[in-house]
Amino acid sequence: MHFTGRTWRPPYEAHSVIIQATSGCTYRKCRFCSLYKNECFRMSPMEEFEEDLAEIKTYQPYARRIFWTGANPFAMNYENLKLRALTVRDYLIKCQTMAMFASIRDIKNKEVWQLRKLKAMGINGLSIGVESGDDETLTLANKGYTSADIIEQCRKLDEANMEYYFVYMTGLAGKGAGYRNAIHSAELFSQLNPYFISVDSLTLFPDTELYQMSQRGEFVPADEKERICELQVFINHLNIRTHLFANTVSNYAPVTAYLPYDREKVTNELQYVIEHTDEQTMRDYRASLKSLGTS
């Protein structure tokens, strides 16, 4: 298999067969992220992609879901995605779904009819690290798009009936701003139909711009308890039926919920953690984290 550089897949794709479609990220400007900092974006040549498919076929001929690695393989244009999706089907006859990371920017150059066609070819299940639906937070994180862009592009996915998952990041808005971020994000996400929402919590790693900003006093990270309160507010204001997975390593108190049914139960669980754990214990936990544990 041709895996080069950093290979990253979300925890919920653990049962998918993985193949490298791209490596690196087309953007590399999010201030909290250093994942692909030293890696140029590269599309795997078709020969490489096909060699890997042939290899997968030898040991997983009936693979039903494959995950294309790289920060945003959906950055490929329609024709390229189509060619690869059809090629996957040449090798893996039972493959039903090809999932991958995508950015809001990657949807912009695709029409709804193209999204529909790609879905029909098996491309479905886009993991979108929007992180927030609050414009101030999006600007602070330098995500490169606005809340209006999120609405406009994800409505196209909804129209094409293409499944997508959001990532929300607590703590990203900084100290004192978690409440605003949670309300605005929940309101925005509630206008869309993410199949589920995965929640991470900001961990400042030294090789990120946000860390440098914090050293200069330009960014003050939120306390750990504030982040858990932020998650409570986010859950309380989400007004759609969706699954929520706040159980990656970056969450001090891992919880999962099917909303709105589990709303009260989960916010009570989080309240218990707030009342029975001291801030320093939580900070020590975060300081011990060695990787993002996010997507």
Q: Which residues bind ligand SF4 (CB under 6 A)?
A: 25, 27-28, 30, 33, 35-36, 71, 103, 129
DSSP, res 195: S
Which C-beta is closer to ligand SF4: that of 33 or that of 140? 33
Minimum distance, C-beta of residue 175 to ligand SF4, in the bound complex (Å) = 21
Residue number with CB closer to ligand SF4 (21 or 233):
21
Q: How far is the CB of 39 from ligand SF4 (least distance, A)?
A: 10
The angle formed by the CA atoms of residues 7, 292 and 178, to the nearest 5 degrees, is: 140
Q: Could you give the 3-state DSSP secondary structure of residue 269?
A: helix
Q: Quote the CA–CA distance of 99 and 86 in Å, as a whole number.
A: 14
Phi, psi of 113 (to 5 degrees): -65, -35
The nearer residue to ligand SF4, 169 or 270, going by C-beta atoms, is: 169
Q: Which is nearer to ligand SF4, 3 or 258 (CB)?
A: 3
Closest approach, Cβ 253 to ligand SF4, in A, equals 24
CA dist 92 → 18, 47, 96, 206, 263 (Å): 13, 16, 9, 42, 40
Q: Please, which residue, 71 or 85, has the CB nearer to ligand SF4? A: 71
Shortest Cβ 33–ligand SF4 spacing (Å): 3
Under 8 Å between Cβ of 68 and 21:
yes
Report, in Å, the least distance between residue 281 CB and ligand SF4.
Answer: 28
